[in-house]
Structures are given as structure tokens and as C-alpha cells.
A and B are shown apart, each in its own frame.
Chain A
């Protein structure tokens, strides 16, 4: 199983863009083994699947967030990233990057992002 580590700002202002990166070790993002995934968790919304990117570059997003979210990957750095635009306080959550393969999700440790001015 690959290891995953999230990084990025812990505080984002309302209306700005949340940007997080997930660094993958013990494997390569340039593989069809996994869907490279973002999931978030907040007291109000529980666990919420945000979306994934596949090694081909194709992405799939939660319809509830699709208008504001972009997931991309950088094979040279073995990373994938999340951008969430026009954030509000409702986007405050712990964000997890994950490797999904059917019934098996491997999780990063998570990073708390707070949206506040």
C-alpha cells in the first residue's frame, strides 16, 4: 500500500481558493492501480467524497462540488492536488487524500483547513 501525505495552508479566507497537495510514496501516481482521491470530513457534513483523478488524467467529481473543484496530478513530483474555489465557512474540514481501489481506500493522515477571515 502506498503512503500519502497532505500539505497546504491550514487557513484560507472566504471567497478564496483552497489548494492542497498530496505526496505519494511507495508507489507512483502514474499507474492504473488506484484512483487518486480527495475526501473531507466536518462535523456538519460528515465524511464527503470530493472526487478523484486517474492516471490517464480523467477526473470524476462529486456533483455537489463539481462547479468549484479541480483535481490534478504532477507525475514528475509524484503528487496530486486539490483546488476548491470560492470557499465559505462550510468548507472548513479535515481534508484527506486517499488511494482508492474498489473496496480498498488507503488514507493520508488528514489536514485541517479552516475558512475564516
Chain B
């Protein structure tokens, strides 16, 4: 299985901050990475696909980068509705695997 390691597991930030979350794959996954946002009691919502493509309807303050094994999700100008948990997921190979999550909390 491809292991996905996210860091940090949690962070505190203020509205307006720039936040960076990293995801590392245990082997080369090309660009086959998705970033999700999840709020309590809801299913994950896709933000970024293919490592850097913004999902339709997602604000442009969300961006993704990376290729191979190292990936980054950046949220610029953090908004109140962005406080949530974020996950990465690889779809290079089955079984699909997810990172452990990063909880973004209000400072």
C-alpha cells in the first residue's frame, strides 16, 4: 500500500493567515493526488485534484502544488469557513489511501 503522511496533524491560525499543509507519499504517485476539506458530520469535499487543479466552485485562495512524493495545500487569506480538517488522498494505485488529516483550528 502507498502510505500518505500529512503534517502537521493540527495547527492554529487566525483569519487572514496563510496556511500550508504538506502530504508525503511513500512512493512516486505522479500527480494523482486529491485534497479534501471535511467539516464535522459531513462527507469530505474535494478542493484540489491532480495535485494542483482547483475543483469547480472552490475559492481561489486554495491552491495545491507538488509532484511525485511531496505535495502542498496552501490556503491564503484564511476565512472563518475554512476552519476544518483537511485530507490528502492518492489515486495512483489501489488500495486508495488517505493522509491522517490536518485539523485547522482558530487561534
A107 within 8 A of B: yes
CB under 8 Å from chain A, chain B span 81-107: 87, 89, 91, 94-101
Main secondary structure of the interface of A (DSSP, over half): strand
Residue of A nearest to B1 (CB): A63
Contact B46 A104 (CB under 8 A): yes
| Given A46-B101, A49-B96, A62-B95, residue A103 in contact with residue B43 (CB < 8 A) | no
Contact B43 A46 (CB under 8 A): no
In the complex, what residues of B have CB within 8 A of residue A47's CB? 44, 87, 89, 98, 101
Contact B34 A49 (CB under 8 A): no
Contact of A60 among B43, B49, B94 (CB under 8 A): B94
CB under 8 Å from chain A, chain B span 1-32: 1, 32
- The answer for the CA separation of A56 and B101 in the assembled complex, in Å, is 34
Binding site for A on B (CB under 8 A): 1, 32, 34, 42-44, 46, 49-50, 87, 89, 91, 94-101
19 A–B contacts, CB within 8 A, in A order: A46-B100, A47-B44, A47-B87, A47-B101, A49-B97, A49-B98, A62-B95, A63-B95, A100-B91, A102-B91, A103-B49, A103-B91, A104-B46, A104-B49, A105-B34, A105-B44, A107-B43, A107-B44, A108-B43
